[in-house]
Structure 1
């Protein structure tokens, strides 16, 4: 009978040990996938061309410009037009990042959609789709604001006027030091 009692106990211990080994192996595999994801994300770059074709911008996974190419057509453009073309291409490239990063993350940590969605969502908040250029969208009613254009934000409330500092020779002691030493 002594053997029968020790077998179930040792069996439970072996099962627990096997389960711990399984959890450790699973954690190591997950860590490897996350390292692979991080390396893949660091390699991501996205390019975009301005609508008029004069500027091409490439951004890295953080949205930083890594390459800027401008055609010779800019010689015939104003500085304002060149700036708009560059910024348009930049915003378009940055707005492509969330989708590209989502693809990379799906390939590496596809079994963790919550993490992927959280990271991609933060990129979408940081790099939203660029606003349409004036004249690109047709007004819904022909007059007034564009249908998808948000209403103008109300102006900030006016600041209260500053009160002048009380004179130093105030007889009543208001506005003077809080503690008086005698």
Structure 2
């Protein structure tokens, strides 16, 4: 009977540890989700005439144009806005990667899948030479 009771106690401890582990993971996931929702990406063109802000989904939330932009062609301005937006996406991806790695660690498969998903959606084009993050 003692052996059965010891095995039962060991099983209870394992279940308690498992439950605690699940609760901890759920809490970390909730915290991470809240932090990711609050992230933004920001970039400024090299000439400082354009500043772009994107939200956690990569959607444009703010666009600031210096008055001097009027001296440029519309095509040039459009290219700079697109380049600066790509740089803001890269900034968002960098922040998301840092936040996810901090919360889940480097080797967490869920964290890696999350980062990969954002990379596919936002693009990981680092070739935005005319914009600063």
TM-score interval for Structure 1 and Structure 2 normalised by the shorter chain: 0.7 to 0.9
In terms of fraction of residues, the more strand-rich structure is: 2
Choose the corresponding residue for 2:52, options 50, 53, 57.
57
- Equivalent residues of 2:84, 2:128 under 8 A apart: no
Per the normalisation by structure 2, the TM-score is: 0.87
For 2:10 and 2:126, how far apart are their aligned partners in 1? 56
CA-atom RMSD in angstroms:
1.9
Once the two structures are TM-superposed, the CA of residue 128 in structure 1 deviates from its matched residue by 2.0
Match of 1:38 in 2: 33
- Equivalent residues of 2:87, 2:128 under 8 A apart: no
Per the normalisation by structure 1, the TM-score is: 0.65
Choose the corresponding residue for 1:96, options 91, 95, 103.
91
For 2:33 and 2:13, how far apart are their aligned partners in 1? 30
Match of 2:124 in 1: 128
**Matched pairs, number:** 129
Flag the structure with more relative contact order, 1 or 2, with Cα contacts below 8 A and sequence separation at least 6. Answer: 2
Choose the corresponding residue for 1:26, options 21, 27, 42.
21
Superposition pairs for residues 74-93 of structure 1, below 5 Å? Answer: 74-93=69-88
